[in-house]
Structure 1
């Protein structure tokens, strides 16, 4: 069995030419948020400008990875930023904040999310990160279950009441 057959997906760093597919994926993700919580999220135009993307690529604290099929089709992405706690109330900690973690619907439940997380975790550990954090909205139960399966735990609960 060839490597391509045994491993139909691979993870690699995002490149400049990924910009349009990244925009498509984050727009799809945002649309899901707009549908689930239209009281919070609203439709908008460009979610990530080319200039913002290029700045992220040049910033050593950003980790931008793409999951691809052996045929080159994009199956998912993970964008994360190495950061440190800023508040004097909190213990000093260097951690990876995962800003976007997307696996396209047709590619879910094939191990791609685990591969993406393993790659981002490896890069973060090599950069001195002590852990990873992210935000998952309460309506996104499948994402929360996935993150728990990776070993993540709930850090705090943010609550609301609308008047």
Structure 2
């Protein structure tokens, strides 16, 4: 009863409508997850998440011809103790190391993360989630090898970035 069908939801976008989407085309600011790196979305009454298959990427897409300033919040959880590093890598240089946005230990309960002042330029920005351990079978009998879950991701759009202003990638 407490479980709902997962649907497509792996993230939420908040903020002024004109910054969340382009009205004429219907294109929206979004987060994209590769099925090769992430399992399908899951949800309960209060939470939504995706388990990673190991190190994984989330592509943040800004359809606007201008940058937007955001705060990005999410929770991390794992069935073991592991370190996770989150890096922002511009799409054109996806092989580069990128800028570390957050680094820390995951825990069996939710670990809240808030990355403030993230500038999303037009197009795609890749966030790499790296972990120090390979995916493992959890102790709850789940037949999937998992590394960590990314939960309750919210992209909070604060403002249009004036030309020439910078922020975290």
TM range (shorter): under 0.3
Q: Which one has a larger percent strand, Structure 1 or Structure 2?
A: 2
- Greater relative contact order (CA < 8 Å, ≥ 6 in sequence): 2
TM-score with structure 2 setting the length: 0.26
Q: Which one has a larger percent helix, Structure 1 or Structure 2?
A: 1
